[in-house]
Amino acid sequence: MPSRNHLDKIGRKKKKWTEEAMERALIEVKSGRCTVRQAAKEFGVPKSSLGDRVSGRVAPGSRSGPAQLITSADEELLVEFSLYMSSHGFPLTKQQLVSFASTIYKRQHRRVAFSKLGQTWWLNFRKRQEKKITIQPAENVVRGRTLCVRKEAVDQFFHLLSTVTDAHALRDKPHQIFNCSETGFQLGRKRTALSKPANMGFKPAAGLRDHISVLACFNAAGEDIPPFIIYSKAYPGGVSYKTRGPSNALYGWSDSGCINSDLFKKWFLKHFLLHVPKERPLLLIFNGHKCPVNLEVVEAARKEAVVLLCLPPHCSHILQPLDAGFFVLLKQRFATLIGDNAANLAHFAVSKKEFSGVFKGTYRAAKEEEGVRTVKEGFRKCGIYPLNHFDIGDGHLAPSDGLGSDADPSLSTPMQEGNAAGEVTIAGPSS
């Protein structure tokens, strides 16, 4: 990071002449009416800069200073992309915007191993685009408040949902409204009952052998996209986990056994877009705070007419349709198939290799009348379809349960939901 003195010098080195004055001076010198020195003094431009243009070392109209890291056209696209994300519930933090800019930079310089974009680029970008975007400090609130459902956030989400569904004429098209969410299965031969404080986020319980997550996706008509099964640390040995698993399922792995940004990109580009109906536009609702989307996903979504809509932080347990019953049904079926009727539906005595075979039988519930009815009821209960902005009561405003027996570890990553104190979000110009 550059020193403060260096940044101060950058601020002081402002160009005090205009390109119009430089052009007029250049015309006078080339016509022979003035020398370089005389024209520079008359029109208030630097003598050396004028001399460079007269000699041809610098082309007329060229930008002074170091080469621009991102072209003006790409920077305009970055601003437009930031405003799009903000209007769909994904206000970008400074770190996310710089990351997206770095992705654009690497596309232009494919042989560069790392991006040169840093604090200096960010400060200059803010200055250039100050009329188009606003920088909003994150709320500096105590942890207890950030882990609670906020009525204002829920109201804002339903206002945004109503605006999007009306703009794209989706109010009466349940086949085109999707929700994706993740649920976790703790595997181990020995059952371990460990108490976990509420609201501490997802952490695989100590003493368990493996964690496996399933990313499920359904539309409001009860139709599914084949599941995405994510293993922890590595795939099981052999290929039997694929042959025994659900039809057309996708498989992946991560260190935690949970979805992350790269896996979400893999799922969206190579799985979701492959299995969704041809009708457009589509609406995909998910918890984007725990799994930040990357530039490739947003570009593909806009190209394919898929509207991405982010749930507000800490509201998954009341606004996520699949959490409202279907995931509970899945875990009940899973426990029945392995002969485990314990009340705790988070820990299961089954091995990593056995999981996909057992889950195949479990996932048949998605095709049965009870499963379809449960999915539809989840959309209705959460007010997603039919659209119904229900009133938030005191019970809804309580802190979310993190990963209780019925709670959702949806899209868990090391990133915390929402913005930490001190971060900034990028939004449109304030009215």
**Domain boundaries of the chain, sorted by first residue:** 19-55, 72-129, 150-188+210-394
Q: Comparing C-alpha atoms, which of 290, 266, 295 is closest to residue 98? A: 295
Q: Distance between CA atoms of 421 and 415, rounded to whole angstroms?
A: 14
Q: What's residue 318's pLDDT?
A: 86
Three-point CA angle 81, 225, 371, nearest 5°: 130
In the CATH hierarchy, which fold is given to the domain comprising 19-55?
A: Arc Repressor Mutant, subunit A (1.10.10)
pLDDT of 316-329, one tens digit each? 788 999 998 899 99
Burial 140-178 (b: 16+ CB within 10 A, else e): eeeeeebbbbbeebbeebbebbeebbeebebeebbebbb
Average pLDDT, the chain: 79
Greater pLDDT, 308 or 92:
308
Q: Which of the residue ranges 309-313, 336-340, 374-378 would you say has the lowest mean pLDDT?
A: 336-340
pLDDT of 388-405, one tens digit each? 876 556 566 555 554 333
Greater pLDDT, 143 or 1:
1
Above 80 in pLDDT, residue 387? yes
Q: Distance between CA atoms of 245 and 241, rounded to whole angstroms?
A: 6
Q: What's residue 99's pLDDT?
A: 83
Whether 150-188+210-394 and 19-55 are alike in CATH topology: the answer is no
What number is the average pLDDT over the span 146-174? 87
By three-state DSSP, how is residue 187 classified?
A: strand
Above 60 in pLDDT, residue 224? yes
Statement: 150-188+210-394 belongs to CATH 3.30.420.10: yes
Confidence of residue 9 (pLDDT cuts 50, 70, 90): low
Q: Distance between CA atoms of 36 and 54, rounded to whole angstroms?
A: 8
Confidence of residue 314 (pLDDT cuts 50, 70, 90): confident
First-to-final CA distance of the chain: 33
Which residue type, as a one-letter code, is found at position 362? T
Above 50 in pLDDT, residue 407? no
